[in-house]
Amino acid sequence: MKKVVSTNNLSHDEWLEYRRRGIGGSDAGAICGLNPYSSAISVFLDKINGDTQEIDNEAMRQGRDLEEYVSRRFTEATGLKVRRANAIFSHDNYPFILANVDRMISGENIGLECKTTNILNADKWKDGEVPSHYQIQAHHYMMVTAAKAWYIAVLIMGKEFKFVKIERDEEIIKNLIFIESDFWNKHVLKGIMPDPDGSRAVDEIINQYFKTARQGGISLQGYDDRLQRRSELTELIEKLKKEKKIIDQEVKLAMGDTECAFCENYEVSWKNVITSRVDTDRIKLENPELYTKYLKEIPSRRFVVKAICQEQKEIA
């Protein structure tokens, strides 16, 4: 482990600049395709040009502000004293693999990562479970620091405090070195964007970069096979949706007017639910001025794929 820079008196912009010089712990889960809020593409864009929008919100602000509180709660719960590292470190053999850790356990080569989350995510931490991208983050830090274990402490806001000890797994670290090295050498250094992975995070980054369509068109050379496969998948999805709907209808007919049903491996409920919705059609009819007043235009781009028939090809 090598010290890259002290974070004491380091501005946020300077910290971001150092972070872009390598792969950090929070990047690792995204590169592995395990972070539901980020992707390999967003990490790539951040590293090569740093112009992705920095995601920040009230929850993240609270997470930073409450880091010290989570650290103190951990000490109270375990009796283990912790200290700030106050530095960005790099791997001895892979200088692009970086670590900016929250805390280290005093007197031991073990670290602590402090997290906060809301009560809606409590089930992701039940029975000692830890979200997979946080497990990868812990192993990334163990990889850099040569630590034998890493604690993750989480404050579930308004509910409870938990901590989990993650033991070092050499197989995970070996695979992580390969994945991060491959990403850095094949994509970041060569400026080649990773393939999309179908995640919502990739959708968000694409929409961020290409918000507005310009007039005109381009030739999509080499995409016929991919679009043909898309058409096949669309047809298959519709068939599967219909099959699922048929099963739902069969079960409902069998249940009749009962609200619960059971079989060997499943429990089915079909209960009465009352949903309240604003009747926009009525407002539009009875008070069109009020309806117009509260209309909100939301710009977006509509993605449509349609096959070109033979007649259209001949005309073209």
User: For the chain, where do the domains classified as CATH 3.90.320.10 start and end?
Assistant: 2-208
Share of the chain above pLDDT 70, in %: 94
**At residue 94, does pLDDT exceed 60?**
yes
Give percent above pLDDT 90 in the chain: 76
Output 313 or 27, whichever has higher pLDDT: 27
| Band (40; pLDDT cuts 50, 70, 90) | very high
Q: Higher-confidence residue: 200 or 174?
A: 174
Tokens representing 156?
Answer: 């579930």
Q: What is the pTM of this model?
A: 0.79
In order of 25, 69, 132, 155, the CA distances from 167 in angstroms are: 16, 24, 14, 21
Q: Which of 156, 70, 61 is nearest to 117 (CA)?
A: 156
Task: Tell me how far the alpha carbon of residue 70 is from its chain's centroid.
Answer: 23
pLDDT-based confidence at residue 209 (cuts at 50, 70, 90) = confident
pLDDT of residue 104: 96
pLDDT, mean of residues 287-292: 93
Helix ranges restricted to H, the chain: 12-19, 25-31, 40-48, 58-65, 67-78, 132-145, 170-183, 200-209, 224-255, 280-286, 288-293, 310-315
CATH of 2-208, one of 3.30.420.40, 3.40.50.970, 3.50.50.60, 3.90.320.10: 3.90.320.10
pLDDT of residue 106 exceeding 80: yes
| Bridge partner residues of 88 (DSSP) | 5
> pLDDT band at 1, cuts 50/70/90?
confident
**Choice between 261 and 51, residue whose per-residue pLDDT is larger:** 261
Mean pLDDT computed over every residue of the chain = 91
Instruction: Categorize the per-residue pLDDT at 276 as very low, low, confident or very high, splitting at 50, 70 and 90.
Output: very high
pLDDT for position 158: 83
Quote the pLDDT of residue 309.
Answer: 75
Among the listed ranges 18-27, 247-256, 303-312, which one has the minimum average pLDDT value? 303-312
CA 63 – CA 114 distance, rounded (Å): 8
| pLDDT score, position 141 | 97
